[in-house]
Amino acid sequence: MTNPVAFCHALADTTRWRVLRLVLDDALCVCELADLLGMPQSSMSSHVQVIRRAGLLESEKCGKWTYFQIAKAWRPLVRSLVKAFPEDPVVEEDTANKARRLAVRESSCCQGPQKLATRRKSS
């Protein structure tokens, strides 16, 4: 179980909320998240570490990349939170951008995780 204050802190930032939504169904690396959200990788790493310290992420190291996804135990709660708050144009744009990024993943520097589930592999 995570610390409730750390959990709330992880959710209490627009960027971190966007990250949580992006890694709910697909494992992404920091460079993919940085690209999707238009941020420097160092800033994205800081946000990911806040979420990770809260216990919300599982990770997989593949070569020099680490892929992050919402930990299985937290997915039902995060899905409930996502449903509780209406979609907005930024979230819809993030989702579309993620789909485009995943479509070209194999030809990019990030080959993708081997063990963490991704929607592409489970479809």
pTM of the model: 0.85
**CA atoms of 104 and 28, how far apart (whole Å):** 13
**CATH class held by domain 4-107:** mainly alpha
3-37 pLDDT, tens per residue?
899 999 999 999 999 999 999 999 999 999 999 99
29-68 pLDDT, tens per residue?
999 999 999 999 999 999 999 999 999 999 999 888 899 9
- 19: phi then psi, degrees, rounded to nearest 5: -60, -45
Give the pLDDT score at 87: 75
25 and 76 Cβ atoms separated by less than 8 Å: no
Q: Is the pLDDT of residue 122 over 50?
A: no
Tokens encoding 106? 């194999």
Say which residue the tokens 């992006």 belong to.
Answer: 22
Give the pLDDT score at 89: 87
Q: Is the pLDDT of residue 113 over 80?
A: no
Give the pLDDT score at 117: 57
Give the pLDDT score at 59: 94
How sure is the predictor about 2, in pLDDT bands with cuts at 50, 70 and 90?
Answer: low
Q: Classify 62 as helix, strand or coil.
A: strand
Give the pLDDT score at 86: 75
Q: Classify 56 as helix, strand or coil.
A: coil
Phi-psi region of 116 (alpha: psi -120 to 50; beta: other; left: phi over 0): beta
